[in-house]
Amino acid sequence: MKSQGVTMSAVLPIKEASKNIGVGHTKMYELIREGKLDARKQGSRTVITVESIGLHIASLPRLQLSANLSRPQRRKNGA
């Protein structure tokens, strides 16, 4: 949906957005300050655009797995 040249996107409250990306409130506000998440005001509530959450996740480095990935060996007593 477009309104005056702006695309309207879905938003999530801070608490829900932080659960979705697995970080706490402090990290959420840090990501907002750094410009990595798009925060908006909806009345007195701060909300995060779902689009910016997706872009942030896409910007994270991929996990590189080696071909011989195996479970870590348990340490034996006295080792």
Q: Which residues in the chain come in under a pLDDT of 50?
A: 1
Pick the CATH number of 2-59 from 1.10.1660.10, 1.10.10.60, 3.40.630.30, 3.90.1150.10: 1.10.1660.10
Global model pTM greater than 0.75: no
**CA 5 to each of CA 34, 54, 66: distance values in angstroms, whole numbers, following the listed order:** 25, 21, 46
Structure confidence by residue, pLDDT tens digits, 5-20: 555 569 999 999 999 9
The whole-number pLDDT of residue 1 equals 47
Tokens representing 31 are: 């990501």
Burial of 60 from C-beta contacts in 10 A (0-12 / 13-18 / 19+): exposed
